[in-house]
A and B are shown apart, each in its own frame.
Chain A
């Protein structure tokens, strides 16, 4: 009895281990592919364009964004992204980069918020200016340590709300972010799914977004990424710059603290 069970185990184990080896090899080859395309990230073109947008007068005030305060003082771009989201005393709320840019574009430049919010993301036909600025600002934190502060009570509160959103199950599939992103070793087809509840998982993921999406040939902002997650959960699409996406961004960004920011990245 014992022997036959062992034999059964062996016969079962053999093809399984071959399968596992195949999978490992594919994963290894795909890792090599990603390494090969990491040089010459087209996101750099969006960074260049974003810097132009930043310095070009626009809106009814014919103003540039050069006086926009991203948290380190008016016009300071260097290192700003690594400290976002943060609490802003002037708006009395926690803002991520995108909601903050919305504030600057409406207050400094006089662009109506509705105009920006109705089409904030690039399409094949029309590239988004705000996404280009996101590329530029994020690129100016490349190589810096993530240092998101939770000292302000509002910042801490946003983190806690973000955490609740992460675990909030709803929609026709009864899905939460956590359904896919709270265990190690999960994947959808060839895509490894990061465990965003661990520091290492959050660090590896957060520090390479925003990113150029190879499959779409477009640069994608962090809110675009979150909105796409909500879409996959069959949730309604959050409004651009919403409190909800800011809070979730806060949860993920703070979990990524201490890692070196390495974006904008390149995604398949």
Chain B
């Protein structure tokens, strides 16, 4: 999360950039309730994605359990499981920081649905799986590295 931590210093007190402006003008659809969120799914870096969300650097939270394998034998299928015990968890976003587009999936939970999801994502290389969780209107984060190995032959 080195890059993201750096972000804090750069962004604190600063403007949110063009994205923030778009956001404040209501030009960026928010949440999964809306149409497919093309701008957010097009973000090429975590910085772009966070700008798009109008966030500086969401606080890391112990209340988010992120389960990923330490080593993935095949980057085409990397299991990701997220459990948030933060009260009023309404959204879980799963990112892979080194993918061409960083956002993999965006889940919205109405009241009554647990802040939990398991899915599988593709990873082009060893990278951080970063999840952003929206709870009680605020964003939180958790991250873990997954090493992607090359498969052999046979099997």
Contact = CB atoms under 8 A, between A and B. Distances in A.
Contact of B74 (A29, A32, A215): A215
Contacts of A217: 76
Interface residues of B, number: 19
B79 A37 contact: yes
Contacts of A229: 154
A188 B120 CA distance: 26
A191 interface: yes
Q: How large is the interface on A (under 10, 10 to 19, 20 to 34, 35 or more residues)?
A: 20 to 34
Nearest to B81: A36
B154 A232 contact: yes
Interface in A179-218: 180, 187-191, 193, 214-215, 217
Given A214-B77, A215-B76, A29 B70 contact: yes
B69 interface: yes
B63 interface: no
B120 to A, nearest CB: 7
Contacts of B71: 26, 29-30, 33
A29 B76 CA distance: 17
B149 to A, nearest CB: 6
A72 interface: no
B69 A268 contact: no
A267 interface: yes
Interface of B: 67, 69-74, 76-77, 79, 81, 120, 149-155
- Would you list the 8 A-B pairs with minimal beta carbon distance, nearest first? A189-B152, A33-B69, A29-B71, A36-B79, A191-B152, A29-B70, A188-B152, A268-B73
